[in-house]
Amino acid sequence: MSNNTVGRKSSGLDKVFRIALYTVLIVVASFYLMPFVVMLITSLKDVEEIRTGTLLSLPASLHFDSWAKAWSSACTGSSCGGISPYFLNSFQIVIPAVMISTLLGAINGYVISLWKFRGSDLFFAALLVGCFIPFQVILLPMARTLGWLGIANTTTGLVFVHVVYGVAFTTLFFRNFYQSIPGELVKAARLDGAGFFTIFYRIILPVSTPIIVVTVIWQFTQIWNDFLFGVAFSGFDTQPVTVALNNLVNTSFGGKEYNVDMAAAIIAALPTLAVYVFAGKYFVRGLTAGAVKG
């Protein structure tokens, strides 16, 4: 059998395998996108069409008033307000919490991996234990701590909670990433007279972009989608968007408006969707660059 014949057969098998692979990927992607498609279709129907039609039937005409109502008429408790203030609350919680927890995680990971000290392994083990503590376990002690600090039912209190709970994960990410950095690099910088923060700022941070992206995406997603801490530690005016969404879905006036509920759910998911769409490839690069190694 000639090399050309073998090459043609190999090329044909590769094409078949590629077609089969893409077919499987399209089927799986369609399966996972189905809930979003149903939500989007439902949000564009009126209430009567939802009641009389099927789940996957396309809307006879597009109705965008449900989106406006979800944005401006979300209900909390016994009164109705706009969902936009809760969006602002979520951003006021997410942005500082992500920044602080990422910075603390970077410094902790830098110290544990490149500046060994007595008890550093024990300290890292304690942080690992913190990653596996269920949310429900810390509700009561955290509530007492927030009350003692005078920041209960405030956005500052929620930022504090997410920083405390998230620093264990961010430290784990950065520590594993920094394990791949040669220790000799730090030793050489110390011999040249560079101090702790000089080395961190001029040598470590410039090579930390991939893991910073991973940490930011992870923390942003976890904090934005959080419901338990939001409902437990927020006040009436400081609730995040997830709590407002829950109140909207579980409150009805004169009939259940599923189109408004679906529109509100999509709006609440848009920030995390945008983060993954625009930064998803960097997330994968960061993981493969060492975020889960060590």
Domains of the chain by start residue, with CATH: 3-69 (no CATH), 76-291 (1.10.3720.10)
Integer Cα distance of 293 and 281 in angstroms: 19
Of the candidates 84, 88, 62, the residue with the CA atom closest to the CA atom of residue 72: 84
- Is 182 in contact with 60 (CB distance < 8 Å)? no
- Is 224 in contact with 90 (CB distance < 8 Å)? yes
Integer Cα distance of 280 and 213 in angstroms: 9
- Is 230 in contact with 161 (CB distance < 8 Å)? no
Integer Cα distance of 128 and 19 in angstroms: 43
DSSP track, the chain = --HHHHHHHHHHHHHHHHHHHHHHHHHHHHHHHHHHHHHHHHHTS-HHHHHHS-TTPPPSS---HHHHHHHH--EETTEE--SHHHHHHHHHHHHHHHHHHHHHHHHHHHHHHHS--TTHHHHHHHHHHHHTS-GGGGHHHHHHHHHHHT-TTSHHHHHHHHHHHHHHHHHHHHHHHHTTS-HHHHHHHHHTT--HHHHIIIIIGGG-HHHHHHHHHHHHHHHHT--HHHHHH--TTS--HHHHHHHHHT--SSS--HHHHHHHHHHHHHHHHHHHHHHHHHHHHHIIIIIT--
Cα–Cα distances (Å) from 158 to 93, 97, 169, 178, in that order, read 7, 8, 17, 29
Integer Cα distance of 83 and 39 in angstroms: 18
Q: Quick one: pLDDT at residue 76? A: 45
Question: How many other C-beta atoms can be found within 10 angstroms of the C-beta atom of residue 169?
Answer: 19
Integer Cα distance of 249 and 39 in angstroms: 13
> What's the pTM?
0.82
Written as tens digits, the pLDDT of the chain (294 aa) is 555 554 555 566 778 888 888 999 999 988 888 988 889 998 888 888 888 877 778 888 888 888 888 887 545 444 455 577 898 899 999 999 999 999 999 998 888 888 777 877 888 888 888 778 888 888 899 999 999 999 989 999 999 999 998 998 899 889 888 888 887 888 888 888 888 888 888 888 888 888 898 899 989 999 999 999 999 998 888 999 999 888 887 775 556 788 888 888 899 999 988 888 887 676 666 666 554 444
Q: Quick one: pLDDT at residue 12? A: 66
